[in-house]
C-alpha cells in the first residue's frame, strides 16, 4: 500500500447534533452528522471523511444531515483539469502584485486583527463578531489537523488568509478571511486560485471547497471553478452547474 493510501477505519462512531438555526437560510433549521470528537483517530480518519463529504470546523468533523433539506452539496476541484475562466483570469491579473506565503497555522496578532475586521463587516451580530484569540484557535486551528495559513500580502501588508488543511492527495479549503475594505478585488477567489497553484505544484489531486448550495448568493462563486466534482452521498461525479 502506498504511503498516501488511506487506511481502513473500523468501528466508526457518528452522532447527530440537535436541530439548530440554519446558517444559510433564516427560515430553516439544520442538524449535522458528526464524527466522535473524542476519538483519538480523528487525524487518521479525516482524509476518508473528506472523501465522504465531511468538513472540519476546529476539532469537529461534520456533514450536514438535515431532516427535510439536502441543499448542502460537498464539492471539490480536480486540480489537474482546472482551467480558469475569463473572470478568474482577470482576478489573477488585477492582483498580480499580491505575494503568497504558506506559513504554519499559528495565530498572530496580525491574523487576529484581520479576522476580527472581517467578521465585523461580514457577520455583524451573527454570533461570531465577538470572536477573540480563543475562538480563533478553536475555529480555525484545532488540535490535531495538519493545517497551513496561506497569506496573501501586497507590499508586506496582510490582505487575506486562507486556512488550508493538508491530507494525503488533497488540500481542503477550510476558511478564508480578508480585508473587507478590499472586497472589490475578489480576494476570496484569488485565495482559491493560489491554493490551486499550490496543489498543482505539489501534486495534490483535489482541492476540497466544502459545501455548495444551488441558488445561494454567498455560494455562487464555487460553481465557477470548473470542472467541479460533487458528492451525491455515494460517489463523486462531475457537476453540471
pLDDT of 3 above 50: no
User: Domain count of the chain?
Assistant: 1
The DSSP call for residue 138 is I
118 inside domain: yes
| SS3 of residue 157 by DSSP | strand
| CATH number of the domain encompassing residue 120 | 3.40.630.30
β-pairing, 236-238 vs 206-213, is unpaired
95-121 pLDDT, tens digit each: 999 999 999 999 999 999 999 999 999
For residue 69, tell me if it sits in a domain: no
pLDDT in tens, 190-206: 999 999 999 999 999 99
Return the residue matching grid coordinates 461580514: 122
Position 1 pLDDT exceeds 50: no
CA angle (118 as vertex; 112, 123 as ends), nearest 5:
120
**Residue 4 scores a pLDDT above 80:** no
Q: Is residue 31 part of a domain?
A: no
45 is a domain residue: no
pLDDT at 131: 79
**Rounded Cα–Cα distance for residues 60 and 228 (Å):** 25
What is the reported pLDDT for 136? Answer: 96
d(CA 125, CA 33): 26
Average pLDDT in the 139-158 region? 96
In a domain, 26, yes or no: no
> What is the length of the chain?
241
**What is the C-alpha to C-alpha distance for residues 169 and 205, in angstroms, rounded to an integer?**
5
Q: Which domain, by its residues, includes 183?
A: 75-211+221-230
- pLDDT on residue 128: 65
Burial group, residue 124, by CB count within 10 angstroms (0-12, 13-18, 19+): exposed
- pLDDT tens, position by position, 195-237: 999 999 999 999 999 999 998 988 989 999 999 999 999 999 9
pLDDT digits (tens, 9 = 90+) for 48-96: 999 999 999 999 999 999 999 999 999 999 999 999 999 999 999 999 9
In a domain, 9, yes or no: no
List the end-to-end C-alpha distance of the chain, in Å, as a whole number. 36
Asked whether the predicted pLDDT for residue 35 surpasses 50, the reply is yes
Angle at 15 between CA 12 and CA 19, to 5 degrees: 160
- Please give the pLDDT value at position 129: 60
pLDDT band at 122 (very low <50, low <70, confident <90, very high): confident
Q: What is the pLDDT of residue 126?
A: 55
Nearest residue to 68 (alpha-carbon basis) of 106, 22, 7: 22
Evaluate whether residue 198 is within a structural domain. Answer: yes
Domain presence at residue 10: no
Amino acid at each position: 500500500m502506498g504511503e498516501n493510501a488511506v487506511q481502513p477505519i473500523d468501528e466508526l462512531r457518528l452522532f447527530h447534533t440537535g436541530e439548530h438555526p440554519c446558517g444559510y437560510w433564516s427560515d430553516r433549521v439544520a442538524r449535522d452528522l458528526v464524527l466522535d470528537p473524542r476519538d483519538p483517530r480523528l487525524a487518521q480518519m479525516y482524509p476518508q471523511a473528506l472523501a465522504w463529504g465531511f468538513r472540519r470546523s476546529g476539532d469537529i468533523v461534520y456533514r450536514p444531515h438535515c431532516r427535510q433539506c439536502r441543499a448542502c452539496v460537498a464539492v471539490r476541484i480536480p486540480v489537474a483539469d482546472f482551467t480558469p475562466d475569463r473572470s478568474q483570469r482577470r482576478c489573477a491579473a488585477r492582483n498580480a502584485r499580491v505575494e503568497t506565503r504558506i506559513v504554519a497555522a499559528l495565530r498572530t496578532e496580525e491574523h487576529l486583527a484581520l479576522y476580527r475586521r472581517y467578521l465585523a463587516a461580514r457577520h455583524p451580530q451573527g454570533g461570531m463578531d465577538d470572536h477573540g484569540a480563543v475562538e480563533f484557535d478553536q475555529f480555525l486551528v484545532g488540535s490535531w489537523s495538519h493545517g497551513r495559513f496561506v497569506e496573501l500580502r501586497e507590499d508586506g501588508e496582510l490582505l487575506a488568509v486562507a486556512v488550508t488543511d493538508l491530507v494525503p492527495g488533497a488540500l481542503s479549503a477550510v476558511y478564508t478571511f480578508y480585508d473587507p475594505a478590499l472586497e472589490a478585488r475578489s480576494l476570496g477567489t484569488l485565495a482559491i486560485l493560489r491554493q490551486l497553484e499550490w496543489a498543482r505544484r505539489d501534486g495534490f489531486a483535489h482541492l476540497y471547497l466544502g459545501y455548495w448550495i444551488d441558488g445561494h448568493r454567498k455560494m455562487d462563486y464555487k460553481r465557477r471553478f470548473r470542472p467541479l466534482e460533487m458528492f451525491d452521498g455515494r460517489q463523486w461525479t462531475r457537476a453540471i452547474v
